Amino acid sequence: MNNAPSSNPDSIRPVRVQRHKVDWEASDLDLADLTAQRAMSLAPQIATGCWFLNPRYTVSSPTPTAEFFRTMLKLRSTWLRTCRQILGNSGQRHSARQVVTKGRLGAILSIDPIAVPSLPSDPSLPSVPIADLPDDQRREAIEAGQIAKMLAYSGTLFIDGNPVPPRTWQARADELLKRSLGPGIVQDLRQDAGSLETSRRGREPIRDPRPNKKPNRTRVTEG
């Protein structure tokens, strides 16, 4: 009897999923902050391997395999679908604008605390005045809004401690998934998240982000 280890990489690289509770009735619910706080609490673990986080799920794997991306995309879509069901399409769009506004406000105030009196304090406002900012500060504020939106909705991916821009990981996911699923299935996995995809340039160390049937090797635990 041959007891040699399997040569299939996926057989020794399990994907783990943890499901987290989201209290939609909480008056101070901050979806972006839920993800950001978890990312900081997991910083030592996130320093190695692949980690995808959104308010509802944490998905992890030692390496970026097809199974990891398949699970990640499925749960990404599940979370976005939950948001639409609870908030409604217009409610989700309004909430996303609030998240972006709050992210931009945080960035502006961290750059220039003196700006506090001249900026709106209510994050429910549809926009933040950034047109008069210097180019570098305006870019930082816009990026902070995009990061906040990812934390709250489309999710954030870390590989070996580095946040990976969506366009980068989507290209890698497509490459891996097309080999095992075919392009049509890949498109189905991604379509629910299309309207909320954002882009981010560059990588940086972990910091506070506020921003043939095979056996099923995905382990799910409830947080």
Rounded to the nearest integer, the mean pLDDT of the chain is 77
Distance (Å, whole) CA 83 – CA 56: 10
Q: Note the pLDDT tens digit of each residue in 156-206.
A: 999 999 999 988 998 889 888 887 655 444 444 444 444 333 333 344 444
Tell me which DSSP letter residue 5 carries. P
Predicted local distance difference test score (pLDDT) of residue 102: 87
DSSP string, 178-192: HHHT-HHHHHHHHHT
- Residue 5 pairs in a beta bridge with none
Cβ atoms of 160 and 48 within 8 Å: the answer is yes
Report pLDDT digits (tens) over 115-157.
Answer: 544 555 555 555 666 777 788 888 888 888 899 999 999 999 9
Pairing status of strand 50-53 against strand 57-61:
antiparallel
